[in-house]
Amino acid sequence: MDTDSNAPSGPLLEVKDLRTHFFTRWGTGKAVDGVSFTLNERESLGLLGESGCGKSMTSLSILRLVPGPAGRIVSGQVLFQGRDLLRISEQEMRRVRGRGIAMILQDPLSTLNPVFSIGGQVAEPLRVHRVVPRSGIRERVSKLLSLVRIPAPESRLNDYPHQFSGGMRQRVVGATAISAGPKVLIADEPTTSLDVTIQAQYLRLLKELQQESNLSIIYITHDLGTLARICDRVAVMYAGKIVEQLTVEALFERPAHPYTEALLQSIPRMDRKVHRFPSIEGSPPLVYDLPPGCAFAPRCPRAMAICRSEAPPETRLDPGHSVACWLHAKDEHET
């Protein structure tokens, strides 16, 4: 594999102790509560967890798009190519969005505007970031559309979204996201609204784009099946915190956190005669009313007394595998 000699050493993106809270009349919601992870060049990292655990708020914080005024990034660092995005001006941040880090939103089909042509929408980031001269935009848009496998793209530039199928619109959203040549693509549950065949095609496309455009991907999902096809590593989130980080291989072979184990047990398996979907007891705690200690303790089948009173320390099990759980805490943390 070739390496870019100009690339800064260290990870492409490094999130350090990020905290994003919602200040409402019901109290403070710790949507993101001390999240840290790194993303290397050309790597794809999965953010896995049930609905409401803070996946979207983590990615919106990276892009400084947290819905205000209730939502606020209260502390932490987001180092992109060594620069802290939480400390730069809004003007500089606009250059980072799309050009440096692009995002496919949770409901991508609604991101296309019905009253603008497909070609116009894919061209928008090219215009905003002046990636190519005005005269070259049409050609670049056609290239992008053929990259996402839209047949005869030249002839479809003036079409409107309603003339495209759901799967094709999804691919157009993908083309728009990468049109300004970002280094990082954040895909927030991009396949949730798609049927299974189109899901598989879309995942293949993401992989191809990653190879052709040297993208690093943050892939957000609650679905282990799609995650396994895209990601190299996984960060498992629960109630605003990353509770375990490991490779996809380790995820299936040696998950350490009881929450990760529970997620694995809830996937339907072809080799079981009876398809059952055992779900985890209880539901995720509202980030407004977190218990003391480990947030998963009330639902955890292996909870001990300490789990209900003290937050578990992060323990490194292997290089690249860490877990925040009292079951795995090393001696120095034991009381």
| Identity of the residue, 22 or 37, whose beta carbon is nearer to ligand ADP in the bound complex | 22
Taking the complex as a whole, the smallest distance from the CB of residue 208 to ligand ADP amounts, in Å, to: 26
Considering only 51, 75, 110, 279, the residue that binds ligand ADP (CB under 6 A) is: 51
Q: Which stretch binds ligand ADP (CB under 6 A): 47-55, 87-95, 244-252, 317-325?
A: 47-55
Provide the mask over 4-43, with x wherever binding to Mg ion is found by CB under 5 A and - wherever it is not: ----------------------------------------
Q: Is 98 left (phi over 0), alpha (psi -120 to 50) or beta?
A: left
| Identity of the residue, 287 or 324, whose beta carbon is nearer to ligand ADP in the bound complex | 287
Verify binding: residue 245, Mg ion, rule CB under 5 A. Answer: no
What distance in Å separates the CA atoms of residue 237 and residue 15, rounded to the nearest whole number? 14
Please report how many Cα atoms fall inside a 13 Å half-sphere around the Cα of residue 105, on the Cβ side. Answer: 8
* Residues 82, 42 contacting (CB under 8 angstroms): no
Q: Which stretch binds ligand ADP (CB under 6 A): 48-56, 130-138, 194-202, 268-276?
A: 48-56
Q: Which 280-309 residues touch ligand ADP, going by CB under 6 A?
A: 286-287
What distance in Å separates the CA atoms of residue 8 and residue 6, rounded to the nearest whole number? 6
Contact partners, residue 301, CB within 8 Å, separation at least 6: 258, 281
Taking the complex as a whole, the smallest distance from the CB of residue 295 to Mg ion amounts, in Å, to: 18
What distance in Å separates the CA atoms of residue 277 and residue 222, rounded to the nearest whole number? 14
- Which helix (H) or strand (E) covers residue 250, if one does? helix 248-253
User: Letter for the amino acid at 206?
Assistant: L
Taking the complex as a whole, the smallest distance from the CB of residue 329 to Mg ion amounts, in Å, to: 30
Considering only 10, 17, 68, 70, the residue that binds ligand ADP (CB under 6 A) is: 70
User: CA-based Rg of the chain, rounded to a whole angstrom?
Assistant: 21
Considering only 29, 46, 100, 255, the residue that binds ligand ADP (CB under 6 A) is: 29
Verify binding: residue 169, ligand ADP, rule CB under 6 A. Answer: no
Verify binding: residue 56, Mg ion, rule CB under 5 A. Answer: yes
Taking the complex as a whole, the smallest distance from the CB of residue 240 to ligand ADP amounts, in Å, to: 7
* Residues 109, 166 contacting (CB under 8 angstroms): yes
Among ligand ADP, Mg ion, none, partner that 112 touches (CB below 5 to 8 angstroms by kind)? none
Taking the complex as a whole, the smallest distance from the CB of residue 63 to Mg ion amounts, in Å, to: 14
Taking the complex as a whole, the smallest distance from the CB of residue 106 to Mg ion amounts, in Å, to: 5
Nearest alpha-carbon partner for 64 in 41, 93, 84, 40: 93
Contact partners, residue 98, CB within 8 Å, separation at least 6: 125, 128, 129, 179, 180, 182
Verify binding: residue 49, ligand ADP, rule CB under 6 A. Answer: yes
* Residues 297, 310 contacting (CB under 8 angstroms): no
Verify binding: residue 191, ligand ADP, rule CB under 6 A. Answer: no
| Identity of the residue, 78 or 126, whose beta carbon is nearer to ligand ADP in the bound complex | 78
Considering only 15, 45, 57, 137, the residue that binds ligand ADP (CB under 6 A) is: 57
64 CB-contact burial (10 Å; exposed 0-12 / middle 13-18 / buried 19+): middle
Interface residues with Mg ion (CB under 5 A) are 56
